[in-house]
Amino acid sequence: MSLHSDVAAPTQPAIDAGFMTSYLESLTLVERLHRLLLDVIKDEFERVGVIEINAVQALLLFNVGDHEVTAGELKSRGYYQGSNVSYNLKKLVEMGFMHHQRCEIDRRSVRVRLTEKGRRIRDVVARLFAGHAEGLQGRGVLDMAGIEDITTSLRRVERYWTDQIRYIY
C-alpha cells in the first residue's frame, strides 16, 4: 500500500472547453499585441529617422509625458514589466532625453522628467497613436462602443489577476 493511496486526487473545477480555448487565445493575443506595438513604434522611428532609442524607451518617454516621476512610480504603474526601467532611464538621461534630480525628501530616489529632446520623441509616438485611433475608427475596425468594450474587459482581467496575486499569501 502506498503512502498516498488514502489521499484523494485534487478535483479540477469543471471548465468550459470553449471558454478555456478562447481565454488561452486572448492571452496569446495580448502578448502578441504588445510585441507588435513595439515593432510598430520601431518601424515608425525608422521611417522618420529616429535611431537613438528603442521602442521600450520611446514608450517610457510617452508615458512620462509632462509629469515628473520616479522609476518606482513607473514600475508600480506596471508599464514596464520584463524591461529594466532603471537601465532605460539611465540611458535616456545619458542621451539627453530626460533630466534627473535627486528627491529632496528621499535622497535614494531620483525624479525624472522629459527634456525638449524627449518631448519631441513623445510627440512622434503621440502622433503615431493618434493616427492609429483615426485609422481604426475611420476604417470601421472599431467604433467607440467596441473600444470601450475592449478596455472594460481588459480592466476586469487586470483586476482579477491583481486579486489573484494579492490573495496568494
Report how far residue 87's alpha carbon sits from residue 94's, in angstroms, rounded to the nearest whole number. Answer: 11
Q: 3-state DSSP call for residue 4?
A: coil
Q: Encode pLDDT of 116-132 as tens digits.
A: 999 999 999 999 999 99
Would you give the end-to-end CA distance of the chain in angstroms?
Answer: 35
Rounded CA separation 141/146 (Å):
9
- Give the type of residue at 45: F
Q: Are 66 and 80 in contact (CB under 8 A)?
A: no
From residue 4, alpha-carbon distances to 8, 10, 13 in Å are: 8, 12, 22
Q: Is residue 134 scored above 90 in pLDDT?
A: yes
pLDDT (tens digit per residue) in 65-86: 999 888 778 777 666 655 688 8
- Measured in residues, the chain has a length of 169
CA distance linking residue 86 with residue 84, whole number of Å: 6
Structural domains in the chain, CATH included, are 17-138 (1.10.10.10)
Q: What's residue 1's pLDDT?
A: 47
Q: Given this model, what pLDDT does residue 109 score?
A: 75
Percent of the chain with pLDDT over 90: 63
Contact by Cβ (8 Å): 104, 146: no
How far out from the chain centre does Cα 115 lie?
Answer: 22
In tens, the pLDDT along 74-117 reads: 777 666 655 688 888 889 999 999 998 877 776 677 889 999 99
Report which residue type is found at 25.
Answer: E
Is the model more confident about 169 or about 70?
70
Rounded to two decimals, the pTM is 0.81
